[in-house]
Structure 1
Amino acid sequence: MIYDNIRTICEKKNISIKQVERELGFSNSSICKWNECEPSVWKVQKVADYLGVSMEYLLSDQKEAS
């Protein structure tokens, strides 16, 4: 869910997830694992700030919200 939301936002903003990881200092492919393992709140907040959305938005089930 978290990864899917990040991927959707990145597609809309025409940036790659690799770019997000690189600019935030995360390891390669770390964000794509977030659907299977829980990231730290700190990392989710950094991604939310970078993408200009709230942390709650990244954590929400967008299918239910639509």
Structure 2
Amino acid sequence: MIYEKVKELCEKKNVSIYRVEKDLGFSASSIVKWKNAVPAADKLKAVADYFNVPIEYFLEK
């Protein structure tokens, strides 16, 4: 669910997930792993800040 929301934001902003990972200094494929795992709060906050959305955006259904 969180991964899908990140993917959706990437599509809206015309940026790749790889670009987000690179810009934020994340390891390669770290966001893709969110398909099956819960991200650390600091990583999720960084992505929220990157897209200028509240962290709660990723927690809503």
Q: Distance in 2 between the 1:59 and 1:32 partners? A: 17
Which secondary structure state, in structure 2, belongs to the residue aligned with residue 60 of structure 1?
Answer: coil
Which amino acid in 1 is paired with 2:15?
A: I
Rg larger for? 1
Identity %: 51
- Please state if 1:36 is matched with 2:39: no
AA matched with 1:51: F
CA distance in 2, matches of 1:58, 1:48: 8
| Structure 1 alignment gaps of length 5 or more | 62-66
Task: Note the aligned Cα RMSD (angstroms).
Answer: 0.7
Q: In the alignment, what sits opposite 1:47? A: 47
Q: Alignment length, in residue pairs? A: 61
TM-score for both structures, normalised by structure 2 = 0.94
Aligned to 2:23: 23
Task: Give ranges in structure 2 of 5+ residues lacking alignment.
Answer: none
Distance 1:37 1:49 in 2: 20
Q: Structure 1: which 4+ aligned runs deviate by more than 2 Å?
A: none
| Residue 35 of structure 1: how far off its partner (Å) | 2.3
- TM-score between both structures, scaled by the size of structure 1: 0.87
